[in-house]
Structure 1
Amino acid sequence: MNDASPRPAGTTGSAPRPVYRERLLPGPGAWIAAVGLGVIVAVVVLPLAPLVAPGAGVLVAAGTIAALVVTAPVIEVSDGELRAGSAQIPVGLLGPVTPVFSAEEMRVQLGPELDARAYVCLRSWARTGLRVELVDPLDPTPYWLVSTRRPDDLAAAIEEATADA
């Protein structure tokens, strides 16, 4: 369910493939909770409408799963840009890249060391990430803090894209 494999930049066809792409889908606990919510709705509706209860449970579970998939941000490096969720920036405007390898390091980055002007694309189920400094003097954002399950691969993709730019 997690598309986090790095891909080669040079491909044939109409659209170039991304150097790196990862959709930050939730872990197994969220999927189990979505199904559990459907079961709870079915049990609650059962005494009121026994014929509707199974359908209501399936509908709620499917809707919750769909919401989890639709709202999961995509982290991508392609076409000379870094995309994180709805934001994108050319790799030429990126400075030093610092992988965040542990949940404790991420907590420090999000707490005591967080600059309120930073762009943050965070998902709690991806406990590692990447801090990317910006070198654009016109942009008030000092850095991006991006959740990723593969900080080394994302850092390497950004560095590769920066070298090619």
Structure 2
Amino acid sequence: MHIYEERLSVPRSWWGLVALGGLGLGVGAMPFGLLAAVIAAAIGIAVSAVLVHLHGSVRILVTPGHLVVGKRTIPIEALGVTEILDEREAFEWRTVRANPYALLLLRSYVPTALRIELRNAWGGAPYVYVSTRQPMNLAAVLAFTRG
């Protein structure tokens, strides 16, 4: 059972860039013939579409006992103080204030984030940085699940 679920999908404009990139490859292959250009465009669009889809398919899940951030599963008991980060603070925490040992789920196209301290440096990480479009909702759900 999921108490909270969020998918950090890419902006729609990225899909336009996928099409433009594929068309650019097609134009670049035009000296080799029309068939080569069509094949290059199709391959370029397919490969870049898969990459963009994979980048935007990451999820944040909260279950009764765990926080799932991407591929990491963190027990709720390991979570400490939660800090909601606005756009400016989120930028600072993913650049100059970032800890190289922290668990980071970064998505540059998501301006807000949540920073959650980890008790006893769970897994060697001092905190979890989670890009989220709904930091207040996620913080409220985590506070609720901790009891």
Q: Deviations over 1:20-78 (max 9, x none)?
A: 21222211232111111001011111221202322321231122111111233211112
Q: Which runs of 5+ in 2 are unaligned?
A: none
Among residues 76, 92, 96, which one is paired with 2:77 in the alignment?
Answer: 92
2:101 aligned with 1:83: no
SS of equivalent to 1:115:
coil
Match status 1:107 vs 2:91: yes
Distance 1:31 1:117 in 2: 33
Question: Out of 157, 160, 165, which is 2:141 matched to?
Answer: 157
1:54 aligned residue:
38
Distance 2:104 2:51 in 1: 21
Quote the offset at 1:125 in angstroms.
0.9
> SS where residue 34 of structure 2 aligns?
coil
2:51 is aligned with 1:67: yes
CA RMSD of superposed structures (Å): 1.7
> In structure 1, which of residues 133, 142, 148 is the aligned counterpart of residue 132 of structure 2?
148
Unaligned runs of 5+ residues in structure 1 are 1-15
Residue 137 of structure 1, CA deviation: 5.6
Q: After TM superposition, which residue ranges in structure 1, 4 or more long, deviate above 4 angstroms?
A: none
Residue 81 of structure 2 aligns to a residue whose secondary structure is strand
Distance 1:44 1:156, change over 3 A: same
Aligned partner of 1:12 in structure 2 is none
Distance 2:48 2:141 in 1: 32
Letter in 1 for 2:114: L
Distance in 1, Cα, partners of 2:32 & 2:73: 49
Normalized per residue, which structure has more helix?
A: 2
Q: TM-score, normalized by length of structure 1?
A: 0.80
Counterpart contact for 1:99–1:152, Cα < 8 Å: yes
Cα distance in 2 for residues equivalent to 1:77 and 1:143: 17
Q: Match of 1:98, as an amino acid?
A: E
The partner residue of 2:21 within 30, 37, 47 is: 37
Instruction: Give the secondary structure class of the aligned counterpart of 1:124.
Output: coil
Counterpart of 2:65, as a letter, is G
